[in-house]
Structure 1
Amino acid sequence: MTDTLEPLRDLLLTAAVVLGALQAGTYYTWASGVMPGLARVDDRTFVHAMQQVNVAIVNPVFLASFVGAPVVAALAVPATTGTARAWVAAGAALAVATVVVTGARNIPLNNALDAAGPVHEAADLADVRRGFEAPWRRWNVVRALTSTASVGCLAWAATLV
């Protein structure tokens, strides 16, 4: 399969790095700016803002990079050989890990936040926030680390081909 995909190797590696960097940048921005900023607002504002973001983020632009990063990285594995292939495989595995963390940890927290209902109907916004904020932040940092490490592996692989 390497012979078939080798002409696409540079394109696949470049696309994997770009898509992965978009994901890493998203999680980094949330970890370094958005969540610290939201930590300064009252419970009602926090819960309402996060509920709205959780709806808005499910859009074609975000989903293209969210799904595209691991898919393109995985496609780049058989297009590479030697030491580069091991780095691409590591990058692909880390990109998949990012999706797994999101699906197993962040999305269930988002769903629980949504299940609290509209802020004007929620019984205890402080309790809703307590159950969401700290674990979501922790798992977002994990996503930032896995996606950033993925980009690093893929970029390093690109220097080896």
Structure 2
Amino acid sequence: MKMTTLLLLITTILTALIGGLFYAYSCSVVLGLGKLSDTEYLKAMQHINREILNPVFFMSFMGTAILLPVSAFVFRGQPAFIFILLAALAYLIGVFGVTVARNVPMNNMLNQFDIPGSTVEAIKQMRENFERRWNFLNNIRTVFSIISIALVVCACIWNKEV
């Protein structure tokens, strides 16, 4: 197996892992969290947002953001190139970009919110301002992750070595 093929396989696996995270969140976690009271919901999201900042998450999230463009560069001039390039663009804009520009600031805002020191009305307002918008953005990340996965799998199919 060529090193370029190994690179493409690792890139595909990381893309699928991060896509699976967003997909699982969209079709299960947010549904379960939605059943919680306002206070429980905000506390749960604070804990989740803190715990996801770990090496395993960063390896797949940042690894995909690095390996997709690297793979596109390595495969330039080959049939798989266009698929990898489109996968990289979809990921960098619709997953990485949305996360950094939108979800992270919302997570930081929620992290600073003092639940025990807030009124019931302030807690309700925070949830209303956070939940629907955050879930919408996560769905965007999910869709773009799926697009990235499909494109990188197409690259694997068009790569003669895989």
TM score, norm. by length of structure 1? 0.92
User: Amino acid of the residue matched to residue 6 of structure 2?
Assistant: L
Q: Give the structure 2 partner of residue 144 of structure 1.
A: 142
Matched position secondary structure for 1:120: coil
Counterpart Cα distance in 2 of 1:83 and 1:122: 57
Structure 1 segment 105-144 matched on structure 2, within 5 A: 105-117=102-114, 119-123=115-119, 124-144=122-142
Pair 1:160 & 2:155 matched: no
Q: What is the letter of the counterpart of residue 27 of structure 1?
A: F
In structure 1, distance between residues paired with 2:105 and 2:86? 26
The equivalent residue for 1:88 is 84
Give the CA deviation at 1:8. 2.0
The whole-number CA distance in structure 1 between the counterparts of 2:64 and 2:3 is 16
User: Equivalent residue for 2:9?
Assistant: 14
Deviation of the 1:7 alpha carbon: 3.7
* CA distance in 2 between partners of 1:11 and 1:143 (Å): 26
Tell me how large the CA RMSD over aligned residues is: 1.3
- Choose from 49, 58, 65 the match for 2:60: 65
- The one-character-per-residue Cα deviations of 1:8-27 (angstroms, maximum 9, x if unpaired) are 22111111111011111111
Name the counterpart of 1:3: none
Q: Please state if 1:102 is matched with 2:99.
A: yes
Q: Deviations over 1:13-44 (max 9, x none)?
A: 11111101111111111110000111111001
Residues 112-148 of structure 1: CA deviation (Å, up to 9, x unaligned): 111212x211232111100100000000000001111
Tell me how far apart the structure 2 counterparts of residues 36 and 72 of structure 1 sit (CA, whole Å): 32
Cα distance between partner residues in 1 of 2:28 and 2:21: 11
Partners in 1 of 2:153 and 2:13 — Cα distance?
A: 10
CA distance, structure 2, for counterparts of residue 16 and residue 151 of structure 1 = 10
Paired positions, count: 155
Residue 149 of structure 1 aligns to a residue in which SS?
A: helix
Q: Secondary structure at the match of 2:80?
A: helix
Unaligned ranges ≥5, structure 1? 1-5
Identity percentage over the alignment? 28
Cα distance in 2 for partners of 1:116, 1:127 equals 12
CA contact (8 A) 1:70 1:92 kept: yes
